Structure 1
Amino acid sequence: MHASAQPHPRLDAAISHLADLIGFDTTSAYSNLAIIAHLRTFFAELGAEVTVLPDASGEKANLVARLGPADVPGIVLSGHTDVVPANAKSWQSDPFCMEQRGSRLYGRGTCDMKGFAACVMAAAPAFAEAELKRPLYFCFSHDEEVGCLGAPAIARHLAELEVPPALAIIGEPSEMQLINGQKGKIAMQVTVHGEGGHSSFAPQHVNAVEYAARIIAMIGERSRRYEREGPFDHDFSVPHATALATIVEGGVATNVTPDSCRFIFELRSIDQEAASGDMQALINEVEAALLPEMRALAPAASIEWQEIFSYPAMGDATASAMFKQLESILPPRGGKVSYGSEGGVFEIDGGIPSIIIGPGSIRQAHKPDEFIEIDQLGQCLAFFDELDDWMRR
């Protein structure tokens, strides 16, 4: 998809919507009800059928809005409302007040993924005015960034419709290329329970930090094994599984042997069915190697494993009937990605084949001074023009 010589006629509207969306601090730790109310009002005023799906806490919600007929299979345009935290001290500008610098728009969520939502909002009036032959479902979820927690409720809601959608387009940043695969992920918390005391007696203790470090080293070696031995799928940006520790906490003082250490690690896999088996194999390997040593000194020593969250890999939807019908207007293929999305959730929980197409680069996501190129918004709007034409046929 190529940039047009002239700015898209709805580009200003998209930029305005994006500024509004960035103004909502939807960091995953906070409620997203204000932005859901904003979206609900917007789509209701266009005449869409709007459904809000609150979570059990009442502090979070998903939104599903439909334009077009309900009695034929349609297409989902899906994005998440939450963003990762932003440390304002690391930013040149307020992360929740969008700022334009040259050809870029800065703010938390500009590319991941409120830029897509802003384009959806800018294009929605044209969809609403059209005599759509198929329905469009606009879906906005909560808590994608902390484990795709909201999307399953949307997927189940869509699956229970009399005529469910036939394809989902997930608007994660892909530089407007078509992505036809995404890795799954398991996030695990490990707590090592040792036995502490005054550090001058360290040989008599089970140092939880030391054993945690040994487990982390084993995780790193397993990741290097994936890199050497595969399995491989070279359509992915990283063509093999990866495993790494991301957070470590342990110890209370320099003269106390730590009796507890907690860390978090992740496994991203190209084969979701193999992932659970790989995780169990790692657990078995660690416990066989370390628990006998630990319990020789402290019989109550243990290693506790707790899954924090997991989400499924997204399969290849290019063989699905709706994809083949839509293929002529889709952008060039960009392979498969290692980052997560809700596409696998729509596929597994809703039976809806999914692809990723969205503005912005994933390399800008989750960073200070996150930005999106204005041209990417224009390309997204141009794609929605083609989708609008196709939906009217």
Structure 2
Amino acid sequence: MGRRQSHKGVEVVGVSTSRQPGERTCPHFGHCGGCHWQDVPYAEQLRRKEEYVRRVFGEAGIELPECFPILASPSSFAYRNKMEFTAVPDAEQGLRLGLHRRGRFDEVIDIVECWLPPPLANELVEVVRSVARRRGIRAYDYQRHSGFFRNLVLRYATPPDQWMVLVVTTTPTADEEVSFLEEIAELLPQRFPEVRTVGHVINDTWSPVSVGQLRILAGDGVIEQGFGGLRFRISPFAFFQVNWTQFESFFGRIRELASPRSTDVVWDLYCGAGSIALVLARWVSQVYGVELVEAAIEDARVNAMLNGITNVTWHVADLHRPSGKAVLERLPAPDLIVLDPPRAGVHWRLLQFLCEHPAERMLYVSCNPVTQARDLKRLLTVYRLQCLQPVDLFPQTPHVECIALLQRRD
């Protein structure tokens, strides 16, 4: 067995940093923090992820009655529909625009060719970087908290190919900074017809996040993703699953495991922009989606209207607070509960409520098997674990998604 390495809190067995004979990797691999497993054949990546899931659940004392083979990604490259590039000062070239060096959040590598998003992303990065350098735009200095250009966010949707470009800066204070934004907004849609919208995000805080005051510079501010006969509007800050090549398989597997019935009442908790809720809505009587982020619920409402779906009711609520519990208590009792929490997992207060009010079935979707196993230990006091489906949404990385199907104990 190989040595162990830790990646963002996930311990992985047998990660090798040596390249496999004949395996080609991108020019930044080994230095860039975007990928960790490019030197590992994809079949071996899948095996390691399955092994990791089994080990995590085994160490949590959870017996797996049935663990399906991991659902492989149709594409192991060019699969990411969202990328965030960071701008930092550079003494020689003015600025660098790229991804963080592996293990370092204070260093950025000038990315020339990234294999994770569709190839057009590399051209968009190069154009924005070239315009910024030509105009002498100052990158934001995270140590001194000064400068202008902070991040470039690219979002992709299909069909057809559509791109959203978000330029994240501090508040413009110089004419050249305003001209830079105007040139980007005019140049990108002209040169690349796939660019449907360009936005400007102002972040004057010390926090290195790509959210803030939004102004649309070109286009209507949204792109649309299609799969499974549905269309989903993606707004600048909307959450959506990152692997666009897995949408059909991933959401199709969720529907299969849910075994929806025409009489079912479904709760979709942490529903985001409504992707799971709307996938299931066509097969059940009623869905109730609950989400903390009001903008996500607004996207969910639009997505329901876009698809002519009327049997979903949306609620803005903090499921980690007593007020969230009050919202759930007013809803009709569910036959199926869907949980899709953030990496930190389900709050203990919500877990307690769900154990006190178990549905017939539950689907727990998680991007973090460690917190999922922790939460299932509590839920298994009133549920039985029927099966576990690992899904590879993140090729070239150690991360793995898991769908757990639970059945209420008699």
Return the TM-score normalized by structure 2: 0.25
Return the TM-score normalized by structure 1: 0.25
Looking at CA atoms only, which structure, 1 or 2, has the larger radius of gyration? Answer: 1
Larger proportion of strand: 2
Larger proportion of helix: 1
